[in-house]
């Protein structure tokens, strides 16, 4: 990162909004803050327009606090609820079109390797379930086949939430949503298994009800993508608005689904990723 | 990497001693990219667009490019090009016909994102029924994407326009993508003698920080584009922000005129423009028109020719001035819709004198007799 990247020009000091001044004075760049430090530093995400109790909103806060190298991380998003919040994130982030996020990330990562051969530039894709498992699946999987050094994070709210709650490939079978008026008639896509077979070196499913686990998973995914190959993280992030939950029921919904086995947390680490992570984590603290 | 000397664009374009080569249009693409200091090229083998992109792959193997790979489809390739351009490197790709349509959503997106991508469009027909043959109908669809559009008559134009396109696209006051169009097969698959600059020189590299929008590298400020995203807001400020962005993109296209004028020596070329009957054409329709004009001349008929090199921006003022005294304006085209005739009609003072034809499509060549028939009808 350019050290002056977020610095305020002296002549603008009096007009810059307070939240930007906070970012400069108490931000997380170069500080190695994590999830357990939340509340003590200025987060990368500013006030966002997502609904009360939104699983995405909490997940995004946790993802951004977990990034090991925020000062040199570029996010690629896609159309969906998360795109509404990413324009308020103090990282370079790209919204191109719906579904092409992993293709954009491929070009971005390869070009950054050319321009900054001796620096770490982490490219992290954060997109919804529709963008990842439906409209963009082709490009998501092709980026895995090609072994691109990018992290793909799916925010799985099991619906097209931004467009009024339509069924997606990640919706549970039999769920009644728009465009599945008689209930969805095929099972939830098992993208974690697909990712493993398609060449991801690290694959995990998790949720924001376990913030420390989410943090560890995001960091492992970014480290592995940097050194070894593509990684995939799937985060269950329920949508209170379209699933008719009260905002304060979001976390309990996650816990119930984990308990009844319909949305387990899981982790797959390839042997080369295991070697890398053991080296990075010093062989300690390897419990889930 | 191959060692090449960086020279000023004007040296490469106008001053360096050129050597004659007898090559195909696809090979002319390779010769242009060899000297263009391209960082990354991404390809898709839509058959049979042309061999241009695998020849660019050979350049990568020879050490003229830093990065090259085959993408999974044209929409993905144009998306990968987007990411690379946003990271601040000089990129190149090519497509044509069905590939152009498969990738279509990306073209206005490049423009809106102010990416100076150069893409060759080696045009051919659009299904259905299934076709692989030459046709310029895709140019009709591309007219309102906001991209700059140059139309090559032959392999020499293709070579020159591609190299110049990078410099035009990357001007800070332009900084939008340029499509260089050449008629598939007629130009790409036939050989002709063209003149090229020495292969040990190349263009200066692209300076990513000449971009009017931030490069996505966490080096270039600012990091936060919007405090309050206007995408979902239904209020005047959101609409005005979006509208003013689009107006600025339109203005960038207009500002390209002076650069095209400078590097291509005008948006149009004309000869014998005092004649009562003028042919206005672009691409290989110009070559066919030249043949028709020389036959007509032998028969004592005086015909003028206006060759359009830039389609976007459109040379409206030039056409209006050149056709002012003409009694008839003939517009021959390689497509069924007659998009160029529509454009020319909107530019001339009296559109009744514009004759939209002849038109051939579906892969046919344009017999000179068809153009001569139109000429005789005007007498």
- Summarize pLDDT for A46-85 with one digit per residue, the tens: 888 899 999 999 999 999 999 999 999 999 999 999 998 8
Band the pLDDT of A287: cuts 50, 70, 90: very low
Do A108 and B221 count as a contact with CB atoms less than 8 A apart?
Answer: no
Residue B242: what pLDDT?
87
Question: What is the pLDDT, as a whole number, of residue A286?
Answer: 45
What's the pTM value of the predicted model, to 2 decimals? 0.96
Nearest-CA distance B293 → chain A (Å)? 48
Indicate left, alpha or beta for A162 from its phi (over 0: left) and psi (-120 to 50: alpha): alpha
Asked if residues A93 and A82 have their Cβ atoms less than 8 Å apart, the reply is no
| Nearest-CA distance A44 → chain B (Å) | 10
Count of CB contacts below 8 A, A vs B? 147
CATH code assigned at A117: 3.40.50.970
**Chain A contact probe: residue of B79, B89, B111, B231 with most A CBs at under 10 A:** B79
Residue at A10 is within a domain: no
B223 min Cα distance to partner chain A (Å): 5
Query: Minimal Cα–Cα distance from A10 to chain B, Å?
Result: 15
Mean pLDDT of A194-213: 98
Q: Which chain A residues are Cβ-neighbours of B222 within 8 angstroms? A: 6
**A278 in the Ramachandran plot: left (φ > 0), alpha (ψ -120 to 50) or beta?**
alpha
- What are A's interface residues with B at a Cβ cutoff of 8 A? 1-2, 4-6, 17, 20, 46, 49, 71-74, 76, 83-84, 87-94, 96-97, 100, 103-112, 114-116, 121, 138-139, 142, 146
In total, how many domains does chain A have? 1
Place of tokens 């042919």: B279
CB nearest to A104's CB, from B67, B82, B222: B82
Span A164-190, average pLDDT: 97
Q: Domains in chain B, start-ordered, CATH in brackets?
A: 5-210 (3.40.50.970), 269-378 (3.40.50.920)
pLDDT confidence of residue B49: 67
- Compare CB distances from A103 to B80, B224, B232 and report the shortest one's residue: B80
Residue numbers in B near A74 (CB within 8 A):
216-218
Q: Is the pLDDT of residue A5 over 80?
A: yes
- DSSP structure class, residue A10: G
Residue A261 lies in a domain: yes
User: A177 lies in which domain range?
Assistant: 52-281
Query: What does the pLDDT average to over A28-32?
Result: 89
Task: State both tokens at A166.
Answer: 């339509």
A71 inside domain? yes
Q: Would you state the pLDDT for residue A284?
A: 54
Residue A168's pLDDT band, with cuts at 50, 70 and 90, is: very high
Is it the case that residue A288 has pLDDT exceeding 60? no
CB–CB contact A105 B67 (8 Å): no
Q: Is the ipTM of this complex over 0.90?
A: yes
pLDDT tens for each residue of B90-138: 999 999 999 999 999 999 999 999 999 999 999 999 988 888 889 999 9
Assess if residue A105 is contained within a domain. yes
Residue bearing tokens 């963008």: A131
Q: State the 10-residue block means of pLDDT for chain B, 379 residues long.
A: 97 98 97 98 80 95 98 97 98 95 97 97 90 93 98 98 98 98 95 98 97 94 68 78 92 98 98 96 98 96 97 98 97 97 97 96 93 95
Interface test with B, best of A77, A110, A119, A138 (most B CBs within 10 A): A110
> CA of A77: which chain B residue's CA is closest?
B83
Q: Above 90 in pLDDT, residue A2?
A: no
DSSP string covering chain A, please? Answer: --TTTTPPPGGGTTTS-HHHHHHHHH--TTT---GGGTTSS--SB----PPTT-HHHHHHHHHHHH-S-GGGEEEEE-SSHHHHHHTTBSS-EEE-SSS-HHHHHHHHHHHHHHH-TTS--EEEEEEEHIIIIIITHHHHHHHHHTT-S-EEEEEE-SSBTTTT-B--TTSPTT--BBTBTT---SPPP-HHHHHHHHT-SEEEEE-TTSHHHHHHHHHHHHHHHHHTS-EEEEEE---TTTTT--GGGHHHHHHHHHHTTSS--EEEE-HHHHHHHHHHHTT-----
Best of A103, A145, A148 to mutate (most B CBs within 10 Å, chain B): A103
pLDDT at B232: 64
- Are residues B87 and A106, on separate chains, in Cβ contact within 8 Å? no
The whole-number pLDDT of residue B228 equals: 61
């Amino acid at each position: 990162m350019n050290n002056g990247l977020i610095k305020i020009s002296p002549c603008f000091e009096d007009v810059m909004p307070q939240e930007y001044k906070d970012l400069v004075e108490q931000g997380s760049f170069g500080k190695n803050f994590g999830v357990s430090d939340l509340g003590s530093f200025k987060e990368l995400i500013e006030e966002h327009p997502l609904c009360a109790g939104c699983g995405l909103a909490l997940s995004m806060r946790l993802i951004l606090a977990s990034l090991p190298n925020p000062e040199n991380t570029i996010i690629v998003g896609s159309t969906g609820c998360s795109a509404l919040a990413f324009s308020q994130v103090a990282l370079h982030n790209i919204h191109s079109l719906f579904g092409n996020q992993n293709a954009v990330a491929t070009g971005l990562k390869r070009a950054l390797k050319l321009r900054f051969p001796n620096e770490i530039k982490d490219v992290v894709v954060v997109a919804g379930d529709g963008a990842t498992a439906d409209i963009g699946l082709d490009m998501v999987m092709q980026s895995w086949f090609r072994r691109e050094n990018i992290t793909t994070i799916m925010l799985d709210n099991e619906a097209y939430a931004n467009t009024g709650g339509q069924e997606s490939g990640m919706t549970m079978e039999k769920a009644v949503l728009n465009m599945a008026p008689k209930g969805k008639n095929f099972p939830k896509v098992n993208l974690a298994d697909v990712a493993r077979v398609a060449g991801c070196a690290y694959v995990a499913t998790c949720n924001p009800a376990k913030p420390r686990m989410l943090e560890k998973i995001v960091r492992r995914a970014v480290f592995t993508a940097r050194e070894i190959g593509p990684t995939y993280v799937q985060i269950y992030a329920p949508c209170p608005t379209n699933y008719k939950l009260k905002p304060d029921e979001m976390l309990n919904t996650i816990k119930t689904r984990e308990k009844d086995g319909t949305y387990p947390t899981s982790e797959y680490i390839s042997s080369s990723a295991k070697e890398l992570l053991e080296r990075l984590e010093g062989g300690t603290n390897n419990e889930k | 990497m191959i060692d090449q000397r960086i020279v000023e664009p004007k040296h490469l374009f106008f001053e360096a001693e050129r050597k004659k080569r007898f090559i195909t249009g696809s090979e002319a693409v390779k010769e242009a990219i060899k000297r263009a200091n391209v960082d990354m090229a991404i390809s898709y083998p839509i058959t049979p667009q042309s061999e241009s992109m695998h020849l660019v792959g050979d350049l990568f193997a020879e050490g003229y490019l830093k990065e090259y790979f085959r993408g999974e489809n044209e929409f993905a390739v144009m998306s990968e090009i987007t990411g690379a351009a946003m990271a601040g490197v000089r990129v190149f790709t090519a497509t044509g016909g069905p590939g152009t349509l498969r990738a279509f959503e990306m073209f206005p997106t490049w423009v809106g994102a102010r990416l100076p991508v150069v893409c060759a469009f080696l045009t051919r027909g659009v299904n259905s029924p299934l076709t692989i043959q030459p046709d310029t109908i895709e140019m009709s669809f591309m007219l309102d994407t906001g991209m700059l559009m140059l139309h090559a008559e032959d392999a020499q134009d293709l070579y020159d326009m591609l190299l110049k396109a990078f410099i035009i696209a990357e001007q800070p006051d332009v900084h939008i993508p340029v499509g260089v169009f050449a008629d598939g097969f007629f130009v790409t698959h036939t050989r002709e003698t063209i003149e090229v600059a020495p292969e040990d020189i190349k263009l200066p590299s692209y300076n990513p920080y000449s971009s009017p929008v931030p490069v996505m590298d966490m080096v270039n400020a600012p990091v936060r584009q919007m405090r309050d995203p206007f995408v979902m807001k239904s209020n005047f400020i959101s609409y005005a922000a979006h509208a003013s962005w689009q107006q600025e993109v339109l203005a960038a296209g207009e500002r390209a005129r002076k650069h095209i004028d400078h590097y291509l020596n005008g948006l149009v070329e004309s000869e014998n423009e005092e004649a009562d009957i003028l042919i206005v054409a672009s691409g290989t329709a110009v070559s066919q028109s030249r043949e028709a004009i020389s036959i007509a001349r032998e028969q004592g008929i005086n015909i003028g020719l206006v060759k359009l090199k830039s389609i976007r921006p459109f040379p409206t003022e030039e056409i209006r001035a050149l056709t002012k005294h003409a009694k008839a304006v003939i517009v021959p085209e390689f497509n069924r819709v007659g998009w160029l005739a529509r454009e020319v009609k909107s530019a001339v003072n009296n559109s009744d004198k514009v004759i939209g034809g002849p038109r051939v499509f579906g892969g046919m060549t344009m017999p000179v007799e068809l153009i001569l028939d139109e000429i005789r009808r005007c007498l």
